[in-house]
Amino acid sequence: MKRNFTITGVLLLLFTTVNAQKNYWTDAGVWEGKENYWNYSLLKKTGDAGDKFESKETAVTSISSTSTPGFLPYPSSGFAMVSSAAAAGGAFKIERKEDNATLILDASVAGGANKFTVYDIAKASAVSSMFFSMSFNENNPTNGSIVMALGSVRGNNIFKNAVTLTGADASGIFAGLRWEFSTNNSVFLSYRTLVDGSYGYKGINNSSFTKTGQHQVELYSNNATIEKKYIRGGQTYSIQPSTFNIWVNGKLLSNNTGSAFSSSGELAPESLINSFLFQGYHSKAPFPNALSVTLSNLQVNSIK
């Protein structure tokens, strides 16, 4: 009897944890039609690397999957990877508190990034939404950048390897965002686009993010060849092919061209959006590796 009670208790705790993660984004938008849900639980432990993965003088990488233990908890499908360029400085850290856990990524001191990726998520489609919570540390970094991108893994592309995402053509990228830091309290937000033959970042605003506080981010991406719609807060939003919407703390972002931001053009239409990455680099002030980002509540929804 006692054994049955223990098993039941464990199953209830597991269900409660998974359900809490899935329900974290109950106020977020849903696509018209049925969705597949993918959640990344940072509460699980795998391997014997502990809760910290540090940079070294040589490049280092750790990959986790259901069959291969590594530093990161393994995702329910696909692979999770952390990589650090040679002499990048900083580390990756997992902090677990009861039913919540976060991943902290320190930005590297130079151009070779510290990088976190998840790739080859199952049951993906060309129409996808991604949700995550992010905050920055309290070191008041005065330079450095955090970059995130989403798209499709193919071969040994940017989502599957330790290469830093730069201005070069990166096959598989659907869209990218960059957060830049300076002496201001604001954080300058921009999106990846083709400019004069190379990829750079076009400004969105410097008011949506600050160096302090947690930010809730929602991305709705359409890599299909026809218009798609999602419903949020009782209102329907249309997304044209090769565009995406950005929501921050419950507000739809826009610039002088409207709320539809163009994809970078590095991913063929109708390709699956099944991967994402975060990287940090060029953090030198007020001291090396001063900039870090804390990530949690990572979820990807795809139209079935």
- Quote the CA–CA distance of 242 and 12 in Å, as a whole number: 42
Domain 30-303 classification at class level: mainly beta
Q: In the prediction, which pLDDT does 160 show? A: 96
- Quote the CA–CA distance of 261 and 208 in Å, as a whole number: 16
- Quote the CA–CA distance of 116 and 276 in Å, as a whole number: 9
**pLDDT digit string, tens, across residues 162-174:** 999 999 999 999 9
**pLDDT digit string, tens, across residues 42-88:** 987 776 667 899 999 999 999 999 888 899 999 999 999 999 999 99
Domain ranges of the chain: 30-303
* Under 8 Å between Cβ of 281 and 144: yes
- Quote the CA–CA distance of 114 and 166 in Å, as a whole number: 13
Instruction: Report CA-CA distances (Å) from 160 to 122, 145, 157, 286.
Output: 15, 21, 6, 32
Percent of the chain exceeding pLDDT 70 equals 91
23 SS3 class: helix
Backbone angles phi, psi at 283, to 5 degrees: -100, 105
What pLDDT tens digit does each residue of the chain (304 aa) get? 434 433 334 333 333 334 444 468 999 999 998 999 999 999 877 766 678 999 999 999 999 998 888 999 999 999 999 999 999 999 999 998 878 899 999 999 999 999 999 999 999 999 999 999 999 999 999 999 999 999 999 889 999 999 999 999 999 999 999 999 999 888 999 999 998 888 999 999 999 999 999 999 999 999 999 999 999 999 999 999 999 999 999 999 998 889 999 999 999 999 999 999 999 999 999 999 999 999 999 999 999 8
Instruction: Record the tokens describing residue 106, joined without a space.
Output: 């320190």
Cα–Cα nearest to 174, from 154, 192, 190, 156:
192
